[in-house]
Amino acid sequence: MIKIAILIPEQYKLLSVAAILEVFDTANKFQSNNSFEVPYDISLLTLTNYVDAFFKSYKSATIDNQENFELILIPSFTTDDMKNTLELNQAFIPWLIKQYNTGAEIATFCTGAFLLGATGLLDGKAATTHVDACAAFSAAFPAVQLKADKTVTQDGRLFTSGGATSTFHLLLYLLQIHCSKDLAIKTAKIFAIDMDRHNQSYFSSFQPKRHHNDEIVASAQQKIECNYQDVTTIEEMIKDIPSSRRNIARRFKQVIGITPIEYLQQTRIEAAKKLLEQTSQQMTEVIYNSGYNDPKAFRKIFRKTVGMTPSQYRDKFQIR
């Protein structure tokens, strides 16, 4: 029986913990009903010994009890203020390091990767998180090899998953490792989860940074967003901004995290995605209306950015 600890940190997402418990409870029930040993011994680990009423039926303890675990699971957080969240959960960091050094596996779900990132254990290793949190994660932990498009990563005894339903893909992967593929498949059927989804990039949306105090950069952002369909070069877009192209490019990358050219491409691809989702325009119209003149270049950039072809994206997401 594998001893697992599910962390109940400050500002945890209730749905994330519930999903983890549901999958492991289901696996335990399957094995018990078939007269096999129950594979998982589940405990909830807290900082304060407080556990939500939803989880009163589970064993719980604080991290002070000195118990060692074989698998530790870190759920997603409810907040976007990760700096504050990590401060509130600071006490988990040395505990996680100690558990890892005694042989524990650690798995994170969605933005739970930030807490593992704060331990330094992910430095030099592969990881993923929610697609819309990847920029913040990369900025906070530049030593981590972020795989933003991946649904699940494993690097040694460290596992991470992307956002939302990617939680189930990592849980099924852990079942397959610890128990059997057969048990993972049975559990996947119960939760109606496709086991073969390995990419999450097509779920992302371009959410540029806007809360900053650089007026030059803000002006460049506005010009790109208002004129992405009509111009072919960045120089055309920023010609009226009272600063050199070099200075704008430097400040833009420093503030936003990407270059003006990359910002233009992301803006155009986001526009194309909306057209594919919300209209019945022919593909040539979509290409032209999102600012491209070369269909081959558009398809290449779209596939690289989104992880699938424009036609596949439309088939998957078009509102009918």
- pLDDT value for 34: 81
Nearest-5° angle of CA 167, CA 169, CA 171? 70
For residue 203, pLDDT over 60 is answered with no
pLDDT, mean over the chain: 90
- Please report the beta strands in 16-144, taking only residues with DSSP state E, as ranges in sequence order: 40-46, 59-62, 71-74, 105-108, 126-127
Task: Say which CATH class 2-203 falls into.
Answer: alpha beta
How confident is residue 21, by pLDDT bands cut at 50, 70 and 90? very high
Locus of tokens 């604080």? 62
Residue 132 near residue 113 (C-beta atoms within 8 A):
no
Regarding pTM above 0.75, the answer is no
Give dist(CA 293, CA 128) in Å, integer.
34
Please report, for residues 268, 277, 299, the alpha-carbon distance to residue 287 in angstroms, rounded to integers and kept in the order given: 9, 14, 9
Architecture of domain 215-317: Orthogonal Bundle (1.10)
CB atoms within 10 A of CB 250: 13
- pLDDT: which is higher, 66 or 309: 309
76-89: pLDDT as tens digits: 999 889 999 999 99
For residue 50, pLDDT over 80 is answered with no
Q: Which residues 6+ apart lie within 8 Å of 220 measured at CB?
A: 237, 238, 241, 248, 252, 260
DSSP letters for 196-219: T--B-GGG-----------HHHHH
How confident is residue 207, by pLDDT bands cut at 50, 70 and 90? confident
Please report, for residues 56, 75, 240, the alpha-carbon distance to residue 66 in angstroms, rounded to integers and kept in the order given: 21, 21, 63
Q: Domain limits of the chain?
A: 2-203, 215-317
- pLDDT: which is higher, 60 or 74: 74
How confident is residue 143, by pLDDT bands cut at 50, 70 and 90? very high
CB atoms within 10 A of CB 44: 19
Q: Exposed, middle or buried by CB within 10 Å (0-12, 13-18, 19+), for 254?
A: exposed
Give dist(CA 25, CA 299) in Å, integer.
44
